[in-house]
Structure 1
Amino acid sequence: MSAIPKKKTKKGIRYTDTQKQEVIAFSNKWNADNGRGGQAEAARKFGVSVLTVAGWLKSGKAPKAAKVVKAAKAPKAPKAPKAPKAAKAAKAPKVPKAPKAPKAAKAVKAPKAVKAAKQATPQGKRYSDAQKQEVITHVAAVNAAKGRGGLSAAVAKYKVSPLTITGWMKKAGVATKPAKATKPAQVAKVKAPATGGLSAKAVIALGNQVAKLEKQFSKLKLMLGAIK
């Protein structure tokens, strides 16, 4: 038997990156317009198997679209030179402050008036013996005439304190209080005995009365002497 010669299979067609990109773009556009079926439609149109189209879509080997060469940037226009800053106006010189007026001198206080020295108080007035006797006599006369008030009358008339007048009266031996007026002692009537003589008892009674009268007479005599 003669051997059957094998049919020569066609080698796979090689697609350029541009062709692959065209297939991928068509498939994506179909899916975008119709929702699905882009791979099958691209395989039918370009005569490529569905698996090949799917491989191109999944693999990252699909060449990226050639970058558009950026146009050369135009050279920047040179910046205009800044205008020079205007010179600051010179500040006007400050006006000098007017000198302060000198403070008025404080008025000199007048010296305090020197207090006048206290004048020595005059010492107590001295009375002579005649003046003292005059005051005592005036006291006794008022007391003899009115029964009392001699001391007050002498104080008002001679401007002497009651204590001073009382002291003078004590030294002179004159009673400071007015003596009470005593009634004159009544002489007891002694009946003479029938025989014409006095009994011893009657004589004693008369002696006592005489003594009392003499005592009263002495007091009255002293008062009279003080008045004179």
Structure 2
Amino acid sequence: MSSKSKKSKSVGVRYTPEQKKEIVDFVQQYNEAKGRGGQSAAVSKFKVSPITIGAWLKAAGVSKKKGKPAKATKASKPAKVKKKAAKKAKSGAKKGSKGAGKRYSATEKQEVVNFVNAYNASNGRGGQSEAARKFNISILTVSAWLKKSGNKVVKGGKAVASGKASAKVSSALTSKVASLLQMSDRIVKAENELAKLRAGFESMKASIRPLI
């Protein structure tokens, strides 16, 4: 490159491919020797703006730091990506279609529970199965609603309030705990009495020894 082109301002100057290559090669050699700073050194030496040099380096595929050609990114495979996306969409649609059942209101659930109770009161059993047939609902769903409402279905088919059963259990447990506490008090009293007897026995024994 001539000295005139080096000293002239970069604004409005057209550079030939040979001049551009000379500057790019200079940046590469400088960075290979010193690790970095080639672009700034080229700006000072050739009086070209850093933006212009950066554009030339980018066009040549050269990294700004180490002067090595930038690695080309691997081309993506759009066909495989599209196939995977289509499969995911299909599987999502299948999952969404399964188990998408009707939502029942609290009033409808209570209606089914009342039907089961009334049927069992009249016929003794079979209310759950009859409700499943009449309302077109699975037996598991009817059973879940009965449990949630506080009714427990026994073998005979009669709905029994679970609250009463729990009350009986709690009262029986309370009485047993009270009995245990009473027994514990009696044991403590007996142990205290036994300790007193042992102390008296040892005292009497100690007083007799000198006389023997």
TM-score by length of 1: 0.26
- Which is richer in helix? 2
TM-score by length of 2: 0.28
